[in-house]
Amino acid sequence: MTTARDVQLRSDSDLTPDSSRGVGDRIHSFLSNIPTGLLWIMVVLWSIPTLGLFINSFRTRDAQRNSPFWQIFSDSSNGYGSPSLANYNEVLITGNGLIDNLLNSFAIVIPATIIPIALAAFAAYAFAWIDFKGRKWLFIGTVSLLAIPLQTSLIPLLRLYGNGWTLGIPFIDKTIRFFPDLDLVGQPVAVWLTHTGFALPFAIFLLHNYISELPKDVFESAFIDGADHFKIFYKLVLPLSTPVLAAFAIFQFLWTWNDYLIALTMISSTGDSLPITVALANVAGRFGQFEHLLSAAAFIATIFPITVFFALQRYFVRGVLAGSVKG
């Protein structure tokens, strides 16, 4: 709301020497910048929670229990002990062993990111460039599954992983087994299989938006040269779609790394396959004497997604935009 008028005012003050303007004018021009100021107030408010957590993670137990985070610099003079990496050492290695949980998270996140990308790329290509009957409605049907709350899948899926799937045929009293009893519950496989399925509608939607916009003549000339769909797919479409593949990869990485519900359902909150989010929730659930470790644990769980986020923000934003605004 401010911009144009601000620009106007700023250029005015560039042209006119300050002495020739009234005090009122100067105050007014200062105050007109308040909306921009509001923005920065909001930025500060938005950053304080994370910053506070980060600072607290270095402070000793006494310090955290007796003073707010901004008094970190007077910790040693207050006799609480000076800030150090001791909390990190304890949660990662000596105490909670979160380093194992980080590895578990990677064991889930890597397949849960790579597999849906591949499957969704094939499907998006088929929806965009292979002509077949019912294509439009199959696509709409697939994409509309985006909104399904995953809660409606959890109970039967857990059963599927635990007992397999047999279907009893009515009237003739026979059962056929469709999915073997692999006893996957409690293993990372169960989590990434679930993530793969849940990610596909969004992935297909996102990749389709991009792949269907690729220039048509590229495909036509390739067809004339005798290339089949498979060749076109891996020789042309894959290289051309790298940006959107990267966008989805980041999206999926963040989503699977930060997921709690699916991991909690498929692995439960005990055992040695817990990913970092479940382990973190466990630390948070144990109140009292370990509370001072919580901020360090939370920061460890957060550092990977935040790093990815800041390093690849451009792609991430592209993913958010392509996923919510139709092209």
Partner 1 sequence: MEERIIGTVIGVTVAIVGSAIIFIGANKWFDQAGKNWKWFGAVTGGVIGGVVTTILLGNRVIAWKTSSAADATDLTWLLVPLYVVLAGLVGFLLNGTDDRTRRMLIGGVGGLVVAGSYGAFVTSEAFLAPSTLDVIIWPIIGAVVFAGIKRARNSGITTSDLLPPAVTGAGLGWLVGSWGLGTIGSGTRLEAGLGFALAGLALGLRFGLTPNLDKNQRDRLQNRSRAVIFLGPALLFIVMTLIVPTIGTFLLSFQDARGEKFIGGENYGNIFTNPQIFNIDNIGGIFTSRLTIFGVLAFVLGWFVARRKGREVGAPYDWTGGSITPIAIGATAIAFGIFTTLRGTFWNNVWWVAAVTSIATSLGLAVAVLSDRSKGERVAKSLIFMPMAISFIGAGIIWRFMYLARPPSVPQTGVINTVWVALGEATATRNGLFWAMIVVLGTIIGFALFVSLRARADDEPGAMWMSGMVAALFALLVVGMFTGVGGGSLNEAGDFVAEPYFFLETRPWNNFWLMVVLIWIQTGFAMVVLSAAIKGVPTELIEASKVDGATESETFWRVIIPQVSSTIGVVTTTLIVLVMKVFDIPKVMTAGQFETNVLANEMFQQAFTNFNRGLGAAVAMVLFFLVLPVMIINIRRDAEAA
Q: What's the CA dihedral at 128, 130, 131, 137 to 10 degrees?
A: -50
Rounded Cα distance between 91 and 308, Å, is 22
CB-CB neighbours of 76 under 10 Å? 13
Beta bridge partners of 168: 175
Q: Which is nearer to partner 1, 118 or 218 (CB)?
A: 118
Out of 210, 248, 257, 315, the only residue in the binding site for partner 1 (CB under 8 A) is: 257
From 98, 245, 247, 294, residue interacting with partner 1 (rule: CB under 8 A): 294
What is the rounded distance in angstroms from the CA atom of residue 259 to the CA atom of residue 278? 9
Interaction of residue 168 with partner 1, rule CB under 8 A: no
Among 91, 201, 244, 249, binds partner 1 (CB under 8 A): 201
Tokens of 74: 């007077």
Least distance in angstroms from the C-beta of 229 to partner 1: 5
* Residue 245: both structure tokens together: 């593949």
End-to-end CA gap in the chain: 27
Instruction: Give the nearest distance from C-beta 215 to partner 1 in angstroms.
Output: 20
User: Should residue 77 be labelled a site residue for partner 1 when binding is judged by CB under 8 A?
Assistant: no
Q: Which of positions 138-157 make contact with partner 1 (CB under 8 A)?
A: 138-140, 142-157
Q: Is residue 217 within the footprint of partner 1 (CB under 8 A)? A: no
Q: Note whether 216 binds partner 1 by CB under 8 A.
A: no
Rule CB under 8 A: is residue 23 a binding residue for partner 1? no
Q: How far is the CB of 200 from partner 1 (least distance, A)?
A: 5
Write down the least CB distance from residue 277 to partner 1, Å.
5
H-helix or E-strand spanning residue 294: helix 294-311
Rounded Cα distance, 42 and 51, in Å: 14
**Which residues between 237 and 256 bind partner 1 (CB under 8 A)?**
254
How many whole angstroms separate alpha carbon 101 and alpha carbon 106?
9
Counting residues that bind partner 1 (by CB under 8 A) gives 124
CB of 16 to partner 1, least distance (A): 18
Interacting residues with partner 1 between 308 and 327 (CB under 8 A):
308-310, 313, 317, 320-321, 324-326
Residues 82-101 touching partner 1, rule: CB under 8 A, are: 100
Binding part of the chain for partner 1, among 83-91, 131-139, 214-222, 240-248 by CB under 8 A, reads 131-139
When binding is defined by CB under 8 A, the residue of 12, 43, 84, 213 that contacts partner 1 is 43
Instruction: Give CA separation, 189 vs 118, 285, 290, 315, in Å.
Output: 17, 26, 31, 28
Burial grade of 158 (CB within 10 A; 0-12, 13-18, 19 or more): middle
For residue 224, state whether it binds partner 1 (rule: CB under 8 A).
Answer: no
